[in-house]
Structure 1
């Protein structure tokens, strides 16, 4: 793994509680896979699985699903909270999968591949995939926003203000845009059968406090906390108060809609 994060138990627990589960994205991807291979398949591997929210979504489509992650804390949450009879978990780096060559129908990574040693991961995914197997990477950019009635545009501006404040604490491994990482990885993938998809909006009901807690799971925020906890907390409190003012409510448990913009690519090994 090029970068190791999300490994302390508190952060892992908040990751499980507040991160978005990509149900709609996985459903769309499975529709594309059905055109390329018979489902249910035999084996799928979710690399960088975290607490398993996405891993279990693969269970109806494969006889066996394995989630892998480098973090013991994340895997502990996955095993306790995401139980499914045909899903198991293993601790390992993304670039060193404990699987036989040519044994896997699907290798996927959901909102994690940007942290990997990308050339090594692509090589390892190619090793374990069988001929005709597919590699799918999906993620979202930090441009999610909140919807609520006729004040959506004002809420969007506050969300942008929040993300702008986090930019100085962004990990250098990520560069300036996460989406560009995935486009570059697609270019690196040698398979001729590959395609890019973006613009899939996933909506989730969330409270104002839930949104603030989600932001606090982002790696730049965690870095800010370690650098200057007071400043980080002041920012999150300021954003919370601005959102409440726009909504004209006093309760941070007021519900709004979180819109997350996903992108993904799929490539099939010859």
Structure 2
């Protein structure tokens, strides 16, 4: 059974505001597709699209892009984007997509597939993909890094403490490693033409408050908020203050480089 998360309006708004849009990953997906099935870019699905950051990035490459999600609040946020005319959204589970068999050129899931019923989703993706269509699943590890002057090592030690404090609030269905979930899905995919990529570093310059907001949008932090909102606020404030002290700055608007480590796999349905 799929896991329902990120459904509150406040959480969905934070997701829209702080999540990193993976433009570099879209480039990797399209490069793979162009090698395998050039000039066949009609319909793409972004499954578990959340607030639509990745959905929009697919728009220049396809005639039509549809973002699907089970959360009305997330889709409401997605509709506040400046969506291109070829982008639309549907509310539906990842395991039951409202598309005809063989209709879709790309099924992508960006930092979402770990919440799905993985076996049912892979069967459903196979159903809707046309022969030669592509499946792209990606996510990132929680060990994000910060770069700032000569104190990056100190900042990352503080970040590790932050994530360690949140680890006990990780959803049990995720186990200890999201990467293992994706690796297991990769192994279970029967397509012979597939590739696994363990690390692509994506760097973004964000205000320090943006990094804190990003972590606060994670399910682990939101689980802590549900259990003990005062402790969640204390932990967030303490981490921000430690980082500012190490950086010798007085404003959380000070910009840092955030390094997000993506892993992903791509596969092509046989002709």
Once the two structures are superposed, what CA deviation does each residue of 1:211-266 show, in whole Å capped at 9, x if it has no partner?
A: 11111111011111110111111111111111011101111111111100111100
SS in 1 for 2:250: coil
CA contact (8 A) 2:40 2:105 kept: no
CA shift for structure 1 position 39: 3.4
Rounded to whole Å, the distance in 2 between the matches of 1:82 and 1:127 is: 31
Q: How does 1:1-270 map to 2 (within 5 A)?
A: 2-39=2-39, 41-270=41-270
Once the two structures are superposed, what CA deviation does each residue of 1:138-190 show, in whole Å capped at 9, x if it has no partner?
A: 11010111110111111111111111001110000100011111000001111
CA shift for structure 1 position 80: 1.9
For normalisation by structure 2, the TM-score amounts to 0.98
SS in 1 for 2:109: strand
Query: Where does the alignment leave 5 or more consecutive residues of structure 2 unmatched?
Result: none
**Runs of 4+ with deviation above 3 angstroms:** none
SS in 2 for 1:130: strand
Once the two structures are superposed, what CA deviation does each residue of 1:3-61 show, in whole Å capped at 9, x if it has no partner?
A: 11111111101100000000011112211110001236111111000011001111111
Rounded to whole Å, the distance in 1 between the matches of 2:233 and 2:79 is: 31
SS in 2 for 1:95: coil
Question: Cα RMSD (Å) of the superposition?
Answer: 0.9
Mean Cα deviation higher: 99-108 or 205-214? 205-214
For normalisation by structure 1, the TM-score amounts to 0.98
CA contact (8 A) 2:46 2:65 kept: yes
Query: Where does the alignment leave 5 or more consecutive residues of structure 1 unmatched?
Result: none
CA contact (8 A) 1:215 1:221 kept: yes
